[in-house]
Amino acid sequence: MYFSLSPEAACFRAEARRFLDASLDEELRRAADLTVGIHAQIDASQRWYRKLAEKGWIAPSWPVEYGGTGWSPLQCHIFNLECFQARAPLLCQLGIRHLGPVLMAHGTPEQRARFIPPILSGEHIWCQGYSEPSAGSDLAALSLRAERVNDEYRLNGTKLWTTGAHCSTHICCLVRTAQGERKQDGITYLLIDMSSPGLTVEPIISISGDHELNQVFFEDVRVPVTNRVGAENDGWRVAKDQMQFARSNNVNTGWVRQMLLRLGRLCHRRPEGRNTCLADDPAIRQRLSEADIRLQGVEMLELRVLSDLSVNRSPGALTSMLKTRASEVKQQITELAMQAAAYHALPFQPQLLDPTHCSASASDADIVTAMPAYLNERAATIYSGASEIQRDVLAKRVLAL
C-alpha cells in the first residue's frame, strides 16, 4: 500500500516544516535526542510549549472556538510526524490531550473560561491523580475521601504514581464522595490547585534514576465545589472519557518511528578503527525489520483510530489494541537499542541527559539514552491501563469471549 499526500496536504506539510526549521534551536533538538521518559527535560519541554502557544499551534486537535487550530485529523497527524522528524521535544501536555477535551465535554462555561486559557498558554501544568495504593487496574476501588462541607470538599488520602506532580501546578483527581451500590458510584471528579494547603508531593525515583513519578498526600485539603467537573458521584463517567482520550492519545507513533530510526543509526555506527557494523549481521537486520513491520501495523491502527475520531465515531476497543501493540513495539525497540549499545550502555551517567550541560551529538545521544530508555519503557505496558487489562477488553469486546 502506498500513500501520497494531496496537493493541499503537501502544502500544509511544507508550511509546518518551515515553522519547525525556523523555531527549533539546537538545545531544543538536543533535549529531544536525550529524552528517556514520557516528555523531554521539563525546561526545554515548556520552552517548546510556549513557542507553539505563541504560534497558535499548541492544541492541533481542538476546535477553533476553544483556541485550537481547527485542523483536520490528517493535518494533526502530519504535524505530529513533522515535529518528531524535526527533532522537536516531547511535550508535557496532559492539559491539552486529556483535560481540555474533558472540559469541552463535561465542564461548565465558567470552568472552560477559567481553565482552558492557562492550559493553552502553558501557565497551568496538569497531572493526573487517579491511581492509589489499592486502586490501579481496579481503579473504581479508590478511597481518597472528599467530604462536603458547605461549598467546599475536604480531601484526605493519597494518590500514587502521579507522573509529573512535582512540576505541575494543578492535578485532576478522582475522589470518593459516597459508598454506592457499585464501586463506580460515589466517585467525583475534581480540579485541584497543587499549592493548596495540606497537599504535599513525595518523589518516587524510578529504576533508571529518573524523577518522573510521585506520591501525593492530601491532609484536609479544601477544594471549592465550583472545581467539580460533572455531577457529584458521577465522576466515573467523566473519567471513562478521559481514559479513552488517554489510550488513543498517548501513543505518539511519530515518536516511536524516531526511536526506530535512532536504533537503525546505532546499528549502522562503525566504531573507530573498524569497518564493520552491527547491521552487517543478517540476524540484526531481521530484528530491525521485524520491529519496523510491527510499527507499521501500529501506525495503521493509529490511522484507523484517527479516522473514527474524525467522523465522531468511537474507536471503541481499537484504542486498547493500539495501546497494547504500541507499548510492546516501544519495549522491543529499546531492548534492541540497549543490546546494540552493549557495554557502552552500562555507565550510569544521568548528568549526560541534561540538554543544557551535554553537548552530545545525535549519535552519542543514541548511546547515552539506550539504557535509561530501556528501563523506563518497561512501564509502558503498565501505565494508561496494563496490557493484561487491555487484553481483557479485547477478549470481551472484539472476540466476545
Residue selected from 5, 388, 396, 398 as contacting ligand FAD according to rule CB under 6 A: 388
Can you tell me which residue has the cell 475520531?
A: 309
Size of the site for ligand FAD (CB under 6 A): 18
Gap between the Cα atoms of 202 and 236, Å rounded: 27
Q: Which 209-268 residues touch ligand FAD, going by CB under 6 A?
A: 213
Query: Would you say 39 and 45 are in contact if contact means Cβ atoms under 8 Å apart?
Result: yes
**Shortest Cβ 105–ligand FAD spacing (Å):** 20
Q: Which 109-148 residues touch ligand FAD, going by CB under 6 A?
A: 127-131, 136-137
Residue selected from 57, 66, 217, 383 as contacting ligand FAD according to rule CB under 6 A: 383
The nearer residue to ligand FAD, 221 or 288, going by C-beta atoms, is 221
Strands 152-159 and 211-224: antiparallel
Amino acid sitting at position 40: A
**Shortest Cβ 29–ligand FAD spacing (Å):** 25
Q: Which 43-72 residues touch ligand FAD, going by CB under 6 A?
A: none
Q: Say whether residue 324 binds ligand FAD (CB under 6 A).
A: no
Query: Would you say 229 and 170 are in contact if contact means Cβ atoms under 8 Å apart?
Result: no
Gap between the Cα atoms of 244 and 318, Å rounded: 10
The nearer residue to ligand FAD, 107 or 385, going by C-beta atoms, is 385
**Shortest Cβ 127–ligand FAD spacing (Å):** 6
Query: Would you say 122 and 190 are in contact if contact means Cβ atoms under 8 Å apart?
Result: no
Beta-carbon count within 10 A of 7 CB: 7
Amino acid sitting at position 11: C
Amino acid sitting at position 305: V
Task: Enumerate the H helices of 86-193 as residue ranges.
Answer: 94, 100-106, 109-121
The nearer residue to ligand FAD, 270 or 396, going by C-beta atoms, is 396
The residue at minimum Cβ distance from ligand FAD is: 136
- Identify which of 31, 30, 45 has the alpha carbon closest to the alpha carbon of residue 361: 30
Q: Say whether residue 35 binds ligand FAD (CB under 6 A).
A: no
Gap between the Cα atoms of 157 and 175, Å rounded: 9
The nearer residue to ligand FAD, 75 or 215, going by C-beta atoms, is 215
Residue selected from 154, 339, 392, 394 as contacting ligand FAD according to rule CB under 6 A: 392
Contact string (CB under 6 A) for ligand FAD, positions 157-176, x = contact: ----xxx-------------
Which span (2-10, 142-150, 191-199, 386-394) binds ligand FAD, by CB under 6 A?
386-394
Beta-carbon count within 10 A of 151 CB: 8
Q: Say whether residue 379 binds ligand FAD (CB under 6 A).
A: yes
**Shortest Cβ 399–ligand FAD spacing (Å):** 15
**Shortest Cβ 109–ligand FAD spacing (Å):** 28
The nearer residue to ligand FAD, 76 or 190, going by C-beta atoms, is 190
Cell of 149: 462541607
**Shortest Cβ 283–ligand FAD spacing (Å):** 31
Cell of 84: 518528531
Q: Say whether residue 386 binds ligand FAD (CB under 6 A).
A: yes
Task: Enumerate the H helices of 351-386 as residue ranges.
Answer: 362-377
Query: Would you say 251 and 322 are in contact if contact means Cβ atoms under 8 Å apart?
Result: yes
**Shortest Cβ 291–ligand FAD spacing (Å):** 22
Gap between the Cα atoms of 356 and 30, Å rounded: 9
Q: What is the DSSP string of 172-215?
A: EEEEE----SSTTTTEEEEEEETTSTTEEEEEEE-TTS-EEEEE
The nearer residue to ligand FAD, 185 or 392, going by C-beta atoms, is 392
Site residues, ligand FAD (CB under 6 A):
127-131, 136-137, 161-163, 213, 379, 382-383, 386, 388-389, 392
